[in-house]
Amino acid sequence: MKFLFHIIILSIFVSACAVPSSPPPPSPEPSNTLTLGTVQSKIRKGMSQAEVLEVLGSPNIVTKNSKAQEVWTYDKVGSSRSSAATVNYGQRTLGQGFLAFLFGGTTSSAAANATNETKSLTVIITFDENKNVSDFTYQSLKY
């Protein structure tokens, strides 16, 4: 009985020291590769739908045109804001007068500038009956 008790206690200690298995790392999210450069350099007529999916990912809109051809539309909009500020302090000079030199009389100026920029990229890819790229167009706007 004593032997069984020791075995149970020993198994509790051994299992308590066991390292729990960690969950598998999450699969990386596919990066958003929809850029004007990617479209211009990698999309070609004759590519299959699978190749387009590999390069650009899933389309935002899938439709059929009047010729019953499948049309994929990719649309990406992004915005950025930048700002800058400048401050200029003048120097006191004796040429402004002795009292201005001692008690002030300097000039200073400040300016701030903020800009908002919005970019839009629309890509329209038309596939033929064999599910290969028959035509593609793109439009890039910055405003």
Domains contained in the chain, CATH given: 33-82+115-142 (3.30.1450.10)
pLDDT in tens, 60-99: 999 999 999 999 999 999 888 888 877 766 665 555 566 5
Give pLDDT, residue 132: 97
Could you say which DSSP state residue 130 is in? T
The amino acid sitting at 48 is S
Give pLDDT, residue 105: 58
Among 30, 27, 29, CA closest to 55 = 30
Give pLDDT, residue 86: 78
User: Which of the residues in the chain have pLDDT under 70?
Assistant: 13-32, 88-109
Q: Within 10 Å of residue 55's Cβ, how many Cβ atoms?
A: 16
Q: Within 10 Å of residue 52's Cβ, how many Cβ atoms?
A: 23
Cα first-last separation, the chain = 84
Let me know if 131 is exposed, middle or buried by CB neighbors in 10 A (0-12, 13-18, 19+): middle
Could you say which DSSP state residue 94 is in? G
If you search the block for the tokens 């201005």, which residue do you land on?
A: 100
